Structure 1
Amino acid sequence: MRFSSGNICKSKCNILFMTKQHMRLVLPISKCFKLSKLGARRFKITSSWNPGIGHCCVANRAVAGLRDRWMEFQGIKNWEGLLDPLDDDLRKEILRYGEFIEAAYCCFDFDMSSPTYATCLYPKSSMLSDCGLDKTGYKVVKNLYATCVVQMPRWTKKTFPNLASPRSSWIGYVAVCDDEQEIARLGRRDVVIAYRGTATSSEWLENFRATLTCLPDDMTTSDENYDQPMVQSGLLNLYTTNTQCDQSLQDTIREEIGKIVDKYSDEALSITITGHSLGAALATLTACDITTKFSNAPIVSVVSFGGPRVGNKSFRCQLEKSGTNVLRIVNPDDPITKVPGFVIDNDIDDMAEKGTTHMASTGMPSWLQKCMEDTQWVYAEVGKELRLSSKDLCPQIINKGNIATCHDLKTYLHLVDNFVKVEHNRETH
């Protein structure tokens, strides 16, 4: 794995690494982030379209590259040839979508003592600008809420009344690119659905409901060649549960996407769903729902960071058959990406591509594999994986066992910002 602008060192697993620091120099993660332009808590999204830019020829080539290749960057060819080495234009797009997630975190009220706990701090009309993201070319058109159905212990009602009350929590937003210059730069009108990660205790409890459950009929395609698609129970509950006062996240998404698809049916359109942690899993489930519900859906892509597993092998097959493009950015030092459940895969090549968190089923009796699948704990990885290890760029955070930092969205964006390529050492041992 190679990182930009630095020296080369060799890892124990016989892979070359390039970092901004000498091998002998180890910095705390806070200092490592200062090396990156993305070191701030809130990242500023700025369009590369700039009529006053000095190096106009270079800028024009960059704009043309994005405008002409946007389908490739949205995964129409499964990101073939773009990840190793990481294409610079794709890197910018990944970072741009990551910054939309940062805005979702910035907008959320984390103060449990506040009467506005678990809501959005800013009005929809000024949400992005209030987060310091006033030059995106996007306009927020819908707030998104998810509802937890987990019953909290009785003592929480007196100690934390806001926590125990059954209500929906703000979890993200839908934004549409409405700036003509940005549309020209992107080559199409882009719709972003951005989800934050786990923030409330109820959501944590939903995360622990990790057994698989069948997708409802209106989220599946009729195909007798596949077993029933299944996803994590708690995740599905978050997506489909409504209350007397609030519609479900699923209903909100379907309603808003239906309006957008109808309104811009005569334009080049893309839907990009992005999220971190729980939001990454929700992004994948949302993409599945959109491509299943809307036969006239445009290109639907997922750019996820540090997401847990979502569903079983049949769920993965449904995603692939529907043409949903999923790019998962994974830090192998982040334990969240290795849960829930375990993975059995009959495809050896696929296992090698997905990593070391899989259980080989080669030689396993079919009855034993069936028994394991019946436990409703057998998951399957989905989409294309971009693996970026924090151990390679800033090993001190691993040495100290800083799991939270490994999972932090800031860590992921920093790794994407510095990653160049994976280069295997030719030396033999």
Structure 2
Amino acid sequence: MALSLSNSAILFTKSPKAFNNIIINPPQTHYLTSLFPRQKSQSRSELRVLYRTDHSLTKLEEEEVQAVDRQSERRRLADVWSEIHGQDEWVGLLDPMDPLLRSELIRYGEMAQACYDAFDFDPFSKYCGSCRFIRRKFFESLEMSSTHQNYDVSRYLYATSNINLANFFKKSRWPKVWSKNANWIGYVAVSSDEASRTLGRRDITVAWRGTVTHLEWISDLMDFLRPISANRIPCPDSNVKAESGFLDLYTNKDETCRFCKYSAREQILTEVKRLMEIYSGEELSITITGHSLGAALAILSAYDIAETGLNVAADGRVVPVSVFSFSGPRVGNSRFKERLEWLGVKVLRVVNAHDVVPKSPGLVFNECAPAMLMKMAEGLPWSYSHVGVGLELDHCNSPFLKPTKDLVCTHNLEALLHLLDGYHGKGHRFVLASGRDPALVNKASDFLKEHYLVPPYWRQNENKGMVRHKDGRWIQPERPKLDDHPDDIHRHLKQIGLASDHDHA
């Protein structure tokens, strides 16, 4: 594989001597500019990566790239963000793929990926199950671009491990740990003043962690549908149901635990309420993202925010609630779908066609079954329906990825973001548009073809987190004190009618 660089494109070609030959070509196209200025940007040539089987673009491809660039230059995200977030159900934006929508999907997908990158999976760590970084330096610690560093993480989210979901919760082997019953499951972030000017509104984002290293959680969770109202989520229709395991994970709490004294539901509702109050005079949006199990929690929490009316500002304005879901399972029944759409929640689901998770639960009774059959099965506890709009991608279209059916690979979030970067519409050539490094795919998988010479599972902490003490011993360093005990949650729960002084006592 030879590598050809130009001001506007990196062109990959197959060759036994991978990366040995670098050819500099003259400029051929304009650049696709990123949403925010790149931090410490050295060269804008990194903004586009194109796959080719020779050393040049065809005239037709060059014209297509230039047309995309001209389209991007004419449109500002601040002017069209409502469309990007589903105001018109993404009609006309998916095929061909709208460049701004692609950019935003990748950006929110990276915010979901950050939940994996920041999570401590190591059972030999006394902090296993927590976030590895303090909230105020979250994106900086992950060395994410200025696109994400223009958001401030306002709260971490925790859930109790006292439910039957062993492959989602991680526990340390140490006898004395940061928490015995809690796991970090995501965060709430809000765009800075600078980012808000570019975005055209103040964006409140919720990112949920999923589980990707094992897929046994499908059988752990996929039990039966339960009325939403059974878990104290307000709903006027008892026939609106969601998967019972998702509901438990979202609403369970452990009052003896510092971090999950309040449920994930209570944590997120109070934080959204608080931020809505702080920025009440501004144009706002609420965007929720997640991958895998986190995608299910994203849809459930979006429904909850809309159903409780937390997205209604003090002056009566309805703040749009959107979900960008990645590789998510079905969450509820057809009545849940109808209720979610009636509430105005917009959901865009991005999936890999070969991933089994989005096909679960409801393998037999689902939205693809004949309408008459679904009507007959409506009352069954395993009759499910996807919500929103689906965008199905196929990893077999990428020249970088192995044509494997490995379940973990097909469910991988980095691979899905790679597929998004190269997707231009059905039947279009796979052309990476933003310059996202394909090597990221192998960060936690073995999905890239071997001739790209990127080692599998390459992302590791230096010395597995061990540091050398001044006395010469190798030890685990202490971390800054976790700063997210939500002392103010009860006050906000009272404000939105979900708690009383008696509950606090």
TM-score (norm 1): 0.75
Q: Aligned pair 1:305/2:326, yes or no?
A: yes
After the TM superposition, which residues 96-175 of structure 1 pair with which residues of structure 2 at under 5 Å, given as runs? 96-133=107-144, 135=146, 136=148, 137-150=150-163, 167-175=181-189
| Mapping for residues 205-244 of structure 1, pairs under 5 Å | 207-216=220-229, 218-222=232-236, 228-244=239-255
What is the one-letter code of the residue matched to 1:268? E
- Show the counterpart of 1:360: 370
Specify the alignment match of 1:48 in structure 2. 36
Answer yes or no: is the 8 Å Cα contact 2:374–2:383 preserved in 1: no
What is the CA–CA distance in structure 2 between the aligned matches of 1:105 and 1:195, rounded to whole Å?
Answer: 10
Matched position secondary structure for 1:310: coil
Deviations 1:279-307 (A, max 9, x none): 11110001001111125151110001100
Partner of 1:380: 385
Asked if 2 retains the 8 angstrom alpha-carbon contact of 1:148 and 1:203, the reply is no
Which of 406, 409, 412 lines up with 2:416 in the alignment? 412
Question: Cα distance 1:63–1:302, how it changes in 2: closer, same or farther (>3 A)?
Answer: farther
Q: How does 1:285-300 map to 2 (within 5 A)?
A: 285-294=300-309, 296=312, 298-300=319-321
Q: Deviation string for 1:126-173 (max 9, x for gaps)? A: 0110001251210000001122333699xx99989799x961210110
Query: CA offsets per residue over residues 326-358 of structure 1, 9 Å max, x none?
Result: 00001110011101123646xxxxx6xxxxxx3
| Bigger Cα Rg | 2
How many pairs were matched up? 361
* Aligned match for 1:249, one of 260, 264, 270: 264
Structure 1 partner of 2:456: none
> Which residue of 241, 260, 267 maps to 2:282?
267
Contact 1:273 1:287 in 2 (8 A): yes
What corresponds to 1:89 in structure 2? 100
How many Å separate the matches in 1 of 2:387 and 2:107? 22
Contact 1:175/1:192, CA 8 A, preserved across alignment:
yes
Residues 276 and 306 of structure 1 are in contact (CA less than 8 Å); yes or no, is this contact kept in structure 2? yes
Deviation at 1:321, TM superposition (A): 0.5
1:63 and 1:123, CA in 2 relative to 1: closer, same or farther beyond 3 A? farther
1:343–1:190 Cα change, 3 Å? farther
User: Which range moved further: 165-174 or 237-246?
Assistant: 165-174
1:281 paired residue number: 296
**Per the alignment, in what secondary structure is the counterpart of residue 341 of structure 1?**
coil
Please say if residues 153 and 190 of structure 2, whose CA atoms lie closer than 8 Å, have aligned partners that are also in contact.
yes
Question: What is aligned with 2:503?
Answer: none
Q: 1:106: how far off?
A: 1.1
- Aligned CA distance change for structure 1 residues 59 and 374 (closer, same or farther; 3 Å): closer
The aligned residue for residue 14 of structure 1 is: none
TM-score normalized with structure 2 length: 0.64
Amino acid at match of 2:296: A
Q: Counterpart amino acid of 2:360?
A: V
CA distance in 2, matches of 1:26, 1:325: 45
Letter in 2 for 1:72: E
Cα-to-partner distance string for 1:62-101 (whole Å, 9 max, x where unaligned): 4852110000011111111111111001100000001111
The answer on whether the counterparts of 1:101 and 1:195 sit within 8 Å (CA) in structure 2 is: yes
SS at match of 2:210: coil
**Aligned residue in 2 for 1:11:** none
- Structure whose residues are more often strand by fraction: 1
- Cα 1:212–1:166 shift into 2, 3 Å: farther
Instruction: Tell me whether 1:336 sits opposite 2:347 in the alignment.
Output: no
CA positional deviation for 1:392: 2.3
Q: Find the counterpart in structure 1 of residue 407 from structure 2.
A: 403
On the 8 A contact 2:85/2:322 being kept in 1, the answer is: yes
Displacement of 1:201: 8.5
Tell me, in whole angstroms, the C-alpha distance in 1 between the residues paired with 2:140 and 2:390: 32
SS at the partner of 1:323?
coil
What secondary structure, in the 3-state scheme, does the structure 1 residue paired with 2:324 have?
A: strand
Could you tell me which residue of structure 1 aligns to residue 211 of structure 2?
198
Q: What residue identity is the alignment partner of 2:308?
A: K
1:322 maps to 343
Q: State the shift of 1:59 in Å.
A: 9.7
Residue by residue, what CA displacement relative to the aligned partner does 1:363-407 show, whole Å, maximum 9, x if unpaired? x496xx24xx44411100100111111122259634x43221110
User: What is the identity percentage for the equivalent residue pairs of Structure 1 and Structure 2?
Assistant: 36
- SS in structure 2 opposite 1:379? coil
Q: Once structures 1 and 2 are overlaid, which stretch shifts more, 211-220 or 227-236?
A: 211-220
SS at match of 1:171: strand
Distance of 1:281 and 1:113 partners within structure 2:
29
CA–CA distance in 1 between the matches of 2:285 and 2:181?
Answer: 32
Offset of 1:26 from its aligned partner?
12
Give, as a single letter, the amino acid of the residue that structure 2 aligns with 1:410: E
The structure in which a higher percent of residues are helix is 1
Counterpart of 1:378, as a letter, is S
Decide whether the 8 Å contact of 1:150 with 1:202 is kept in 2: no
Q: Structure 1 stretches of 5 or more lacking a match?
A: 1-19, 32-44, 346-350, 352-357, 425-429
Following TM superposition, by how much is the alpha carbon of 1:187 offset from its aligned partner in structure 2, in angstroms?
A: 0.4
State the AA in 1 paired with 2:353.
P
Query: How far does residue 265 in structure 1 lie from its aligned partner after superposition?
Result: 1.3
For 1:89 and 1:76, locate their aligned partners in 2 and report how far apart those are by CA, in whole Å: 15
Contact 2:128–2:171 at 8 Å: present in 1 too? no
Greater mean alpha carbon deviation, residues 387-396 or residues 255-264: 387-396
Structure 2 partner of 1:39 = none
Cα deviation code 1:23-63 (max 9, x no counterpart): xx899xxx9xxxxxxxxxxxxx9643579999xxx799648
Change (3 A) 1:73 1:26: farther
Matched to 1:256, the amino acid is E
CA RMSD, aligned part only?
3.7
| Alpha-carbon distance in structure 1 between the residues aligned to 2:38 and 2:222 | 48
Structure 2 stretches lacking a partner, 5+ long: 1-10, 20-32, 45-68, 313-317, 429-505
Query: Quick check: 1:206–1:238 contact (8 Å CA) kept in 2?
Result: no
2:218 & 2:386 partners in 1: Cα distance? Answer: 23
Q: Could you tell me whether the CA contact under 8 Å between 1:48 and 1:59 is conserved in 2?
A: no
Q: Does the aligned pair in 1 maintain the 2:205–2:287 contact within 8 Å? A: yes
